[in-house]
Amino acid sequence: MICRLLFSVALLAARPAAIAQLAEAEARLKSAVGEVLAVADRTASRGALHESLRPVLRKHVSFETMTRRAVGPGWRQFTPAQQQQATQLFSTLIIRSYSSKFTPGEHPAITYKTAASPAAGRVDVPTITVYKGSRFSVNYRMEQEQGWKITDVVIEGVSLIANYRSQLDAQFKKGGANAVISSLTQSVSRSR
């Protein structure tokens, strides 16, 4: 009985901190989305958009974490130089893919749902996004990395990281780090 009471008191004491974390992560995401839309509004052409968005996305997205998770267990076998090269290529691929979805001057309507914390230092912020007449369920997975950063995006139940991991893991099994880097290089050159 006393243990249960102490547990309840500890839970109540921790709750304000957890609520503050959720609010902080959600505010960071809203700020990031606002910055992205502002850059998109100032950029006249789609071709220039990916370069204009790069600094904003690098500030709010942990491309290092995303790349490491997309590669999977083989990441530990990459040299530091290969990790850096893979991260650069992967971030370029993601930024180009993301920016190609935008039409300058057109904004999506985003409804933010109740954020949740599935684990310490991690927050999921679900949204409903309507863009060009289509409605999408988009969940932003954020983690505490020098502030809150996006570490995955799940669109209609499909994780960006899991999608790339199935591809990159297969490449790693075929030819190690060099095969992954070669595959990313080819994907980046096709995404121009």
What residues does each domain of the chain span? 2-190
pTM to 2 decimal places: 0.85
- Count Cβ atoms within 10 A of the Cβ of residue 176 and give its class: 0-12 exposed, 13-18 middle, 19 or more buried: middle
Helix axes 80-99, 63-71, angle to 10 degrees: 110
Q: Check residue 17 and give its pLDDT.
A: 66
CATH of domain 2-190: 3.10.450.710
Higher pLDDT, 1 or 13: 1
Q: How confident is the model at residue 99 (pLDDT cuts 50, 70, 90)?
A: confident
Q: Residue 117 pLDDT more than 60?
A: yes
Q: Check residue 2 and give its pLDDT.
A: 52
Which of 45-49, 123-127, 138-142, 154-158 comes out lowest in average pLDDT?
45-49
Quote the CA–CA distance of 86 and 15 in Å, as a whole number: 39
- Nearest of 110, 111, 114 to residue 18 by alpha carbon: 114
